[in-house]
Amino acid sequence: MIVKVFNNLKRFLFLMLVQIIVLNHVQWSGYVNPYIYILFIMLLPMETPKWAVLMMGFATGMTIDMFGNTAGLHAAASTLLAFARPGILNLIAPRDGYEAETTFTPQKLGLNWFLAYVIMLTVIHHFFYFYLEVFRFSEFFYTFFKALVNSAISIVIIVIGIYLFGNQSKANERFAG
Amino acid sequence: MRSLFLFLWRYNFFILFLVMETICFFFIARNSNFHHASYINSTNTAAAKVNSTVSAITEYINLSKANEALSRENAAMHSLLPGSFYIDSALKQLVVDTVHKQQYTFVTAKVINNSVNRRNNYLTLNKGGMQGIKPEMGVVCAEGIVGIVKDTSSHFCSVLSLLHKDTRISAKVKKNGYIGSLVWDGNDFRHAYLKDIALHVKLAKGDTIVTSTFSSIFPEGIMIGTVEEFEAKEGDNFYFIVVKLSTDFSNLSSVYIVENVMKGEQQVLEEKQTDDR
């Protein structure tokens, strides 16, 4: 239990640092800004209560907001993501349900399942975020394109990242028994 | 009453979600209002520290470019010194200048956080209330204008970039003085749009656009950019003008904060006019 909390805390700090120090400064062609910090909310353990996921979604978004001068925008989007998480999990549940205390990684549940999970949640988060940021429909198609491109890039980074750093948490789990 | 509690308990997850989204929207609404200071921004100490560390590193990488820009600016300044003019009058006279009092003062500042790829962009600078920085001061750099100060903490300030949907800057065509307003449409950090220039005005590609005298924030004649394209849309009385910005927003490191010493005086005078109306 303590190991799990510690692992999640470590993941939170790591993702925050990557997001704030590297990805917030990516300025490629003016509209690419991937947001991968949402992986933290996606990877919270199965047994986390729903309300706690919601709280953590809010807190994660607020932290990103503080560093990016976007008061409330990320908090609103990642709270929506946390709200959508249980629904998506039900929607794409394997035929015989989830194992107790499973972790949502491709190593545990397969790449197809993981892709479906990440794509749905990232698209929900990004579209909500970009439309909220613009807050008008006059730039509808431009915003749509921007959200689509950024979702694609975020998903690619998240999938590559989980294969690069995923094994480490597996070793920790074995250690925990 | 009991059924109300049952209802609340049954949908507690959804209600918690609604409460949190309401809090978020409160912050968003609060931040979009120019005159209200927001609490969640990067001028708070922890965020500012991280941002200044990151910018210290990137600044080092960009040193050669910064040096070049500074020496170019130095050269421009040198050419304005009295020593570099040929003196053609035989008689010189000392005049105590009481008419041309100084109206604008400049404070140098370093950019410690900046973005160009959002719809609404902000900068954070390393000067704040302790150095006399107040909201609604202008921010310029050697190449052109940058934005307007929004909030200050004791050592930092956040700046509403020109690349923001609420920014409107009074600009004029330098060669004939016609005045329009400059807005940014969110697509490209190298271009902005000049509106309200009527169709009878003679324009050419490459015309210089500078700040006008109407704004009490920027001094007159600060470079904004050049006309890249213009067209007269059918059924419209005004040109659609694309301005190529002279400031490179993706590579800003040192800027100047402008204080208009006589701004209070001008505002008091202008407020009287609205009372009469």
Other Cβ atoms closer than 10 A to A160: 10
Comparing alpha-carbon positions, the chain A residue that sits nearest to B151 is A69
- Identity of the residue in B28, B58, B117 whose CB atom sits nearest the CB atom of A76: B28
Min mean pLDDT across A107-111, A150-154, B95-99, B156-160 is at B95-99
Chain Cα centroid distance, residue A28: 22
Verify whether the Cβ–Cβ distance B16 to A24 is below 8 Å.
no
Other Cβ atoms closer than 10 A to A52: 11
ipTM at complex level: 0.80
Q: Which of residues 16-35 of B touch A (CB under 8 A)?
A: 16-17, 20-21, 23-28, 30-31
Contacts of A68 in chain B (CB under 8 A): 42, 115
Please determine, for residue A177, whether its predicted confidence score (pLDDT) is greater than 70: no
Confidence of residue A141 (pLDDT cuts 50, 70, 90): confident
Residues 6+ apart with CB under 8 A from B148: B136, B137, B138, B139, B159, B160, B167, B217
So what's the pLDDT on residue A119?
A: 94
So what's the pLDDT on residue B93?
A: 44
Distance CA B24, CA A62 (A): 9
Please determine, for residue A168, whether its predicted confidence score (pLDDT) is greater than 70: no
Six token digits for residue A172:
């920790």
Q: Which contiguous run of DSSP H or E holds residue B194? A: strand B191-195
Distance CA A156, CA B207 (A): 44
Residues 6+ apart with CB under 8 A from B239: B194, B197, B198, B199, B201, B203, B230, B231, B232
Residues 6+ apart with CB under 8 A from B220: B210, B211, B212, B213
CA distances in angstroms from B12 to A83, A86, B5, B16, B19, listed in the order given: 12, 14, 10, 6, 10
B205 at A interface, C-beta within 8 A = no
Contacts of B188 in chain A (CB under 8 A): 30
So what's the pLDDT on residue B118?
A: 82
Confidence of residue B147 (pLDDT cuts 50, 70, 90): very high
Residue range B222-249: mean pLDDT, rounded:
88
Q: How many CA atoms does the CB half-sphere of A91 hold within 13 Å?
A: 10
Comparing alpha-carbon positions, the chain A residue that sits nearest to B189 is A30
CB A79 within 8 Å of CB A64: no
Q: At what angle do helices A140-176 and A111-134 cross, to 10 degrees?
A: 140
